[in-house]
């Protein structure tokens, strides 16, 4: 190389028609060490490319991140004359790949890539150059990115409670296949079943939902596990708090007492009002009463008399 600039495709510095990427998937011989990264579909990755602060002024700095895809060698991000320039950036990376302009003067040329997809997998080459013609190669390195589709840590929620039956829902996403899902009692490790499985296929990943109904008689810690090729993922324990039976009994008895009081109280109030009205009448109430068979005209004591006549 002799410290001189080799051509970078999509680069206007020179026009020799070659690229820094070799025809092989492996890093080109003689280039700086390679970093191996594993990214997850939909997540973010940071591909390192660091070099001591260049002696040349930042305005004379050129940085190119390239990757070989089916269309050929394309530029994921570029710095031209010390400034991040999207003019040379491939459309598939625009808005997703960038370099931090503040850290350029510190020699940090890390490529930030968001919303990673399976198409982003491959070998990336970072090329750092400075100066005017002839441009001097300062640094280069490669990053091998592998993209996997694995499920996220599941979340468990309660959907419905009916008597002693509880319906639980487990949600996870990010995988590329229909997984196996199972439920466990995390206290003793016993299986609670696999539940009813629903999957929803997206472009690069799958959403999975498992629904299980369990009949519980005591408090439990329940977990949901989703199968992953790189290692299964398990939710945090979900605590089902079931009150003791005596609490149900006490609560039921309380409801019955409230119902009885609510029904008898109005009757008691009406009875008291009737007695009060009777006592308030003038003259005082004196009741006629007599045994059956009493002869007509026979006067019984206290029948129909005013108090002052007695």
Residue in the structure block whose two tokens are 């959403």 = 207
* Strand ranges across the sheet with 97-98: 45-47, 111-113, 97-98
For residue 211, pLDDT beyond 90: yes
Tens digit of each residue's pLDDT (9 = 90 or more) over 183-192: 998 888 888 8
Tens digit of each residue's pLDDT (9 = 90 or more) over 80-130: 988 999 998 999 999 999 999 999 888 899 999 999 988 899 999 999 988
For residue 75, pLDDT beyond 90: yes
3-class DSSP state of 37: strand
Residue 276 neighbours by CB under 8 Å, 6+ apart: none
Q: What is the mean pLDDT of the chain?
A: 75
Sign of the Cα pseudo-torsion (9, 15, 20, 23, in order): positive
**What pTM value is reported for the model?**
0.57
Q: What is the predicted pLDDT for the residue at 73? A: 86
* Burial group, residue 307, by CB count within 10 angstroms (0-12, 13-18, 19+): exposed
Q: What is the predicted pLDDT for the residue at 159? A: 72
3-class DSSP state of 129: strand
Of 220, 253, 212, the residue nearest 238 (C-alpha): 220
Tens digit of each residue's pLDDT (9 = 90 or more) over 252-262: 444 545 555 56
Q: What is the predicted pLDDT for the residue at 30? A: 46
Beta strand spans in 4-152 (E): 34-40, 45-47, 61-69, 72-80, 83-84, 97-98, 111-113, 122-130, 136-148
* Burial group, residue 209, by CB count within 10 angstroms (0-12, 13-18, 19+): middle
């Amino acid at each position: 190389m002799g410290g001189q600039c080799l051509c970078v495709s999509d680069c206007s510095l020179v026009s020799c028609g070659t690229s820094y990427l070799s025809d092989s998937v492996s890093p080109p011989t003689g280039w700086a060490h390679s970093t191996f990264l594993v990214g997850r579909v939909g997540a973010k990755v940071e591909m390192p490319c660091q070099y001591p602060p260049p002696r040349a002024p930042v305005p004379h700095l050129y940085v190119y991140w390239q990757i070989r895809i089916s269309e050929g060698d394309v530029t994921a991000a570029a710095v031209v004359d010390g400034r991040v320039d999207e003019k040379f950036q491939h459309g598939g990376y625009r808005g997703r790949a960038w370099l931090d302009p503040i850290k350029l003067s510190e020699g940090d040329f890390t490529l930030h890539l968001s919303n990673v997809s399976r198409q982003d997998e491959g070998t990336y080459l970072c090329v750092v150059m400075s100066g005017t013609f002839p441009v001097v190669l300062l640094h280069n390195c490669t990053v091998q990115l592998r993209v996997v589709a694995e499920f996220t840590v599941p979340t468990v929620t309660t959907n419905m409670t009916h008597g002693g039956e509880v319906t639980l829902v487990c949600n996870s996403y990010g995988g590329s296949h229909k997984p196996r899902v199972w439920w466990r009692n995390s206290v003793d490790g016993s299986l609670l079943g696999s539940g009813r499985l629903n999957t929803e296929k997206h472009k690069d990943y799958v959403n999975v939902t498992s629904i299980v109904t369990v009949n519980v008689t005591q408090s439990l810690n329940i977990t949901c596990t989703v199968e992953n090729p790189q290692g299964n993922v398990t939710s945090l324990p979900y605590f089902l708090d079931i009150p003791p039976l005596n609490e149900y009994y006490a609560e039921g008895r309380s409801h019955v007492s409230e119902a009885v009081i609510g029904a008898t109280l109005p009757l008691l109030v009406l009875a008291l009002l009737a007695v009060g009205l009777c006592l308030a009448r003038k003259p005082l109430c004196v009741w006629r009463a007599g045994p059956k068979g009493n002869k007509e005209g026979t006067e019984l004591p206290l029948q129909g008399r005013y108090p002052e006549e007695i």
